[in-house]
Structures are given as structure tokens and as C-alpha cells.
């Protein structure tokens, strides 16, 4: 079944005549068009891609199953959508409630000729949860590029080098190895900056004795990667080694358990309990992980509240951490896919505590 046929099935489920797709990632997933600008209009009889003239050539080439229509210079999408509504007698038109501004809704409510605008939840995004072999190959390669970057960056991490230099080098290495772009802003956090899980790299110069946490990823054929490693510059002290070992133990316990059929929150609990039992529960504030695909953060999640069962073909990150104010932090993150009977870890970089 093609992805647009899966959308047609949602029309029946939701009892709507057509749906307007506005999320750029969903547009790409359903049509192949990478421009992330405009709308897809999908009814039982009509498949249209509305975009602007910057994308005329790309849209036609990338989305052969859709009729491409180019909006006028005034970006009057309502006129194009109304033509489709009238051509197919659409009464109930679904829209992506999670990706529609209030202003957009107000304007379309006034200008569109559908009787009813029906909010549709994240049904379209959830089509993306289970990955195909082709998607999995792209995700595996994206993470592999991260492995290359980690392996090469180790020789550059030394006292006097700034966090920003390390971040820039990681990004350069990833691009030299086929990355199209970054999947998110690279995090390099040394010393006490490591106590902030999402620290921005700055001009801080790495010192001997610092833990350095690097969280980075790239995009390959549209698909994102995500990995984190923490290393020590010089010999780790007892407390640094202690928290490193706890985080690694928590991460390993989850990966060893990973197989389809458990709820996201059950995995989160495995890691959270290990960290709490070791006395550091208050220093692990974020969720254990998230799915990844065209977007860096996708559902389902590994979190305290995730009730969904994690199925085979789902990509997930496992990224426990401990962050201690005025001391520093440790996070270790791999990106994996759940297989029928377990998982495949895409990350192969070392996880023993590296002392540089």
C-alpha cells in the first residue's frame, strides 16, 4: 500500500471526505515532495499538491502521484483548495490540528467552501512510526556517520580547545562523510556546563579533568540520526566514574531488554529505577528517549507517561543521563530499531569511559 493509500484509509476512519496536509514532514512522507511548503489535498478521487513557483520543477519530479498546482503570486491557496473541494464535492475537510495556526484556521474557515473543517489529530504523523527497510537503511547510515565523527573527534579533544571548536569539527566531519545537514544543533558541554542537558556550546576552553558530553546527529537522505557520548579529559575522579558507570548500566539494561510489545513507560522505568536506586534519581529529569525519522523527535517516546506499546520497526533512542549542578554530567545515547525479536543498535562507538 502506498502512503497516500494509507491516508485514504484515514478518511474512512475519520468520516471525512478529504484532508489537507500541512505538516512538511507528512507532505514529504505521503507525496515524496521535499519542499515542505504548501499543502496536499487528498480525497478519494483527487490527489493534489499545492505549492509555489520556487518548487515547480522539484514538486513534479518528486511527487508523480500528485497533480501539482502552483499558487499565484499572492499565495491564494484557498482558491486552489476551493477548486478541489468543488471538483470532488467535498463537505467535510480534515486538517492537521497539530500543525495549523489559529490564524490559518480562521482564514480558511472564512474562505473555504467545505461545509465543515474537521480537526484531525496526529493520525498522519503516526503513519510514520513503523519504518520500511529503505527508511531503516537511511537511519542506519545517518547514525554510522555519527560513529565516524565520534571516532575522529577524540584526537581533537584536549585542554585549551573550546566547546565550539569541537562542535564545528564534529559537524565538518559529518558533512565530509555524506551528511546533508545537521539533525539538530550540536551540543558540546564540558566541565560544569555538562550539568545542563541541552547546553549550547560556547567559548569555554576544555580543562584537564573535565567530562565532555557531545550530542550530535545528521540528516542522510532526509532521515535523522542522534547519538551522545561523554568522555573524560585526563583521569576521571571517583565520582565521575561512579555516575558514568550508573548511566551506562541504565542504558545497557534497557538495550538488553528491548523487544516489541512493551510500553514506552516500562522502558523508561527500567533506566529511571537504576539511576534512582543508585541515589541520583533527582538528577535525571528528562525522558529516556524518543523515536526518530524524517524528524529528530517523533512519537512514540520513552517517558514516564508513554502508554503506547513499542512495536517492531520503531526507531528509538535510549539516552539516560545524570546532571549534577556545579559538577557536570554524563549522557550516553544510542539510536536503535526494534526488530521482531529484539533490537538492532545503529551506534557502534565505544561506551567504556574513555580517558583522553
Q: Which residues bind Mn ion (CB under 5 A)?
A: 226, 317
35 versus 197: smaller Cβ distance to Mn ion: 197
CB of 320 to Mn ion, least distance (A): 11
CB of 16 to Mn ion, least distance (A): 34
197 versus 328: smaller Cβ distance to Mn ion: 197
CB of 135 to Mn ion, least distance (A): 18
The CB-nearest residue to Mn ion is 226
- CA–CA gap between residue 162 and residue 187 (Å, rounded): 12
4 versus 302: smaller Cβ distance to Mn ion: 302
- CA–CA gap between residue 28 and residue 249 (Å, rounded): 38
CB of 133 to Mn ion, least distance (A): 23
Name the residue among 127, 115, 123, 129 with its Cα closest to residue 97.
Answer: 123
Q: Which three cell numbers stand for residue 4?
A: 497516500
CB of 157 to Mn ion, least distance (A): 21
47 versus 301: smaller Cβ distance to Mn ion: 301
Q: What is the CA radius of gyration of the chain?
A: 23
Whether 122 and 23 have beta carbons less than 8 Å apart is answered as no
27 versus 188: smaller Cβ distance to Mn ion: 188
31 versus 213: smaller Cβ distance to Mn ion: 213
CB of 290 to Mn ion, least distance (A): 6
CB of 92 to Mn ion, least distance (A): 38
- Residue identified by cell 573527534 is 153
Whether 316 and 338 have beta carbons less than 8 Å apart is answered as yes
Helix (H, G, I), strand (E, B) or coil at 346: coil
Dihedral class, residue 279 (left if φ above 0, else alpha if ψ from -120 to 50, else beta) = left
226 versus 298: smaller Cβ distance to Mn ion: 226
What CA–CA distances, in Å, run from 259 to 1, 37, 256, 265? 26, 37, 9, 14
- CA–CA gap between residue 210 and residue 296 (Å, rounded): 28
CB of 32 to Mn ion, least distance (A): 27
**Helical packing angle, 102-111 and 77-87, nearest 10°:** 50
183 versus 195: smaller Cβ distance to Mn ion: 183
DSSP 174-194: HHHTT--EESS--EEEEGGGG
CB of 331 to Mn ion, least distance (A): 9
85 versus 219: smaller Cβ distance to Mn ion: 219
146 versus 328: smaller Cβ distance to Mn ion: 146
Helix (H, G, I), strand (E, B) or coil at 199: coil
- CA–CA gap between residue 356 and residue 342 (Å, rounded): 34
Whether 112 and 82 have beta carbons less than 8 Å apart is answered as yes
CB of 333 to Mn ion, least distance (A): 6
Helical H segments across 112-162, by residue range: 123-126, 133-153
Q: Which residues are paired to 334 by β-bridges?
A: 318
Q: Which three cell numbers stand for residue 255?
A: 538495550
Amino acid at each position: 500500500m502506498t502512503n497516500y493509500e494509507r491516508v485514504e484509509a484515514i478518511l474512512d476512519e475519520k468520516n471525512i471526505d478529504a484532508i489537507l496536509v500541512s505538516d512538511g514532514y507528512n507532505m514529504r512522507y505521503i507525496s515524496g515532495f521535499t519542499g515542505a511548503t504548501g499543502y496536499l489535498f487528498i480525497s478519494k478521487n483527487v490527489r493534489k499538491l499545492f505549492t509555489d513557483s520556487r518548487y515547480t520543477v522539484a514538486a513534479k519530479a518528486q511527487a508523480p502521484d500528485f497533480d501539482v498546482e502552483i499558487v499565484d503570486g499572492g499565495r491564494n491557496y484557498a482558491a486552489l483548495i476551493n477548486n478541489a473541494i468543488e471538483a470532488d464535492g467535498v463537505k467535510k475537510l480534515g486538517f492537521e490540528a497539530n500543525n495549523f495556526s489559529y490564524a490559518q484556521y480562521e482564514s480558511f474557515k472564512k474562505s473555504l467552501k467545505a461545509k465543515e473543517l474537521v480537526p484531525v489529530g496526529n493520525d498522519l504523523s503516526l503513519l510514520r512510526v513503523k519504518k520500511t527497510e529503505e527508511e531503516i537503511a537511511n537511519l542506519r547510515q545517518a547514525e554510522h556517520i555519527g560513529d565516524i565523527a565520534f571516532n575522529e573527534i577524540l584526537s581533537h579533544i584536549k585542554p585549551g580547545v573550546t566547546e565550539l571548536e569541537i562542535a564545528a569539527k564534529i559537524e565538518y566531519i559529518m558533512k565530509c562523510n555524506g551528511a546533508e545537514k545537521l539533525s539538530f544543533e550540536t551540543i558540546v558541554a564540558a566541565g560544569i556546563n555538562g550539568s545542563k542537558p541541552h547546553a549550547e556550546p560556547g567559548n569555554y576552553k576544555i580543562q584537564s579533568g573535565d567530562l565532555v558530553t557531545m550530542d550530535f546527529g545528521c540528516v542522510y537522505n532526509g532521515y535523522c540520526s542522534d547519538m551522545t557520548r561523554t568522555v573524560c579529559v585526563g583521569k576521571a575522579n571517583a565520582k565521575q566514574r561512579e555516575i558514568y558507570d550508573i548511566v551506562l548500566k541504565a542504558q545497557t539494561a534497557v538495550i538488553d531488554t528491548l523487544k516489541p510489545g512493551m510500553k514506552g513507560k516500562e522502558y523508561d522505568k527500567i533506566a529511571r529505577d537504576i539511576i534512582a536506586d543508585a541515589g541520583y534519581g533527582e538528577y535525571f529529569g528528562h525522558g529516556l528517549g524518543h523515536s526518530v525519522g524524517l524528524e529528530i523527535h517523533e512519537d512514540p517516546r520513552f517517558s514516564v507517561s508513554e502508554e503506547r506499546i513499542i512495536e517492531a520497526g520503531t526507531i528509538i533512542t535510549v539516552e539516560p543521563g545524570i546532571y549534577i549542578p556545579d559538577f557536570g554530567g554524563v549522557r550516553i545515547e544510542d539510536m536503535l530499531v526494534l526488530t521482531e525479536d529484539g533490537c538492532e543498535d545503529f551506534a557502534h562507538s565505544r561506551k567504556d569511559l574513555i580517558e583522553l
